[in-house]
């Protein structure tokens, strides 16, 4: 479990990336963010059969590869009829490893990448702005995520409300700048 201080650091880093690359369109397109960051997305369907089998052995969902200085990065993901919402989260998770410059995928890096991916797809301030009676179905539809992911995001948003205090600068930026458009892993317009 991440400490709240680290969660806020991850939120701030993520929003700085959104600001720097003009990525304020929601539901978030993981593909658009990857493209802005120069990260190549490699779907399993583009791989030869032997290479695809190696990729699946590495991870059935997705994994990232990068140079030591992160100047080159790739995300290999399952696009062959895989669960759409899982593919979106896996792509966002792998972007977290890249943006946060994780040296490997052990602890605590997996938790950090999960937090990054969840906040990228469903930022708490945007859920809070939907109202206190928002449902899993409404959040899932608005953000293009599964109902379990939406439920988790609602729980995190409620925790943020209980935390209290004014909006932090990165939260206020989201509230002030998000535009509702397309989304999806490679686009959902």
Per residue in 30-87, pLDDT (tens digit) is: 999 999 999 999 999 899 999 999 999 998 889 999 988 888 999 999 887 657 888 8
Burial status of residue 132 (CB atoms within 10 A of its CB: 0-12, 13-18, 19 or more): exposed
| Assigned domain for 135 exists | no
Residue recorded with tokens 């995520």: 145
Indicate which CATH number applies to the domain containing 37.
1.10.10
pLDDT of res. 81: 65
**Residues 102-124: b if buried by 16+ CB within 10 A, e if exposed:** beeeeeebeebbbbbbbbbbbbb
- Please say if the pLDDT value at position 183 is more than 70: no
Residue 185 pLDDT: 42
Among 4-13, 67-76, 167-176, the range scoring the smallest mean pLDDT is 67-76
Whether residue 136 contacts residue 46, with contact meaning beta carbons closer than 8 Å, is answered with: no
175 assigned to some structural domain:
no
Q: Crossing angle of helices 30-37/84-99, nearest 10°? A: 30
Domain assignment present for 73: yes
With cut-offs at 50, 70 and 90, classify the pLDDT of residue 189: very low
157 part of a folded domain: no
Q: What total of structural domains would you count in the chain?
A: 1
Per DSSP, the three-state class of 86 is helix
Instruction: Supply the pLDDT for residue 96.
Output: 97
In a domain, 20, yes or no: yes
The mean of the pLDDT values for the chain is 91
Does residue 164 lie within any of the structural domains? no
Task: Name which of 99, 95, 82, 92 is nearest 43 in CA terms.
Answer: 82
Q: Is residue 114 part of a domain?
A: yes
For residue 122, what pLDDT is reported? 97
pLDDT at 79: 84
Q: Which domain holds residue 30?
A: 4-122
In a domain, 150, yes or no: no
170: pLDDT confidence band, cut at 50, 70 and 90? Answer: very high
- pTM for this model (two decimals): 0.91
């Amino acid at each position: 479990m991440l400490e709240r201080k680290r969660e806020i650091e991850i939120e701030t880093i993520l929003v700085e990336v959104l600001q720097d690359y003009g990525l304020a369109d929601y539901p978030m397109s993981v593909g658009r963010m990857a493209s802005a960051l120069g990260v190549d997305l490699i779907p399993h369907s583009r791989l030869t059969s032997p290479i695809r089998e190696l990729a699946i052995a590495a991870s059935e969902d997705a994994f990232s590869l990068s140079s030591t200085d992160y100047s080159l990065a790739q995300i290999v993901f399952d696009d062959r009829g895989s669960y759409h919402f899982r593919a979106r989260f896996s792509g966002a998770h792998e972007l977290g490893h890249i943006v946060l410059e994780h040296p490997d995928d052990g602890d605590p890096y997996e938790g950090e990448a999960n937090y990054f991916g969840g906040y990228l797809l469903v930022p708490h301030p945007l859920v809070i702005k939907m109202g206190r009676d928002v449902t899993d179905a409404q959040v899932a539809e608005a953000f293009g995520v599964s109902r379990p992911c939406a439920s988790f995001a609602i729980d995190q948003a409620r925790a943020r409300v209980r935390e209290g205090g004014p909006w932090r600068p990165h939260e206020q930026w989201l509230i002030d700048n998000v535009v509702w458009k397309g989304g999806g892993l490679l686009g959902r317009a």
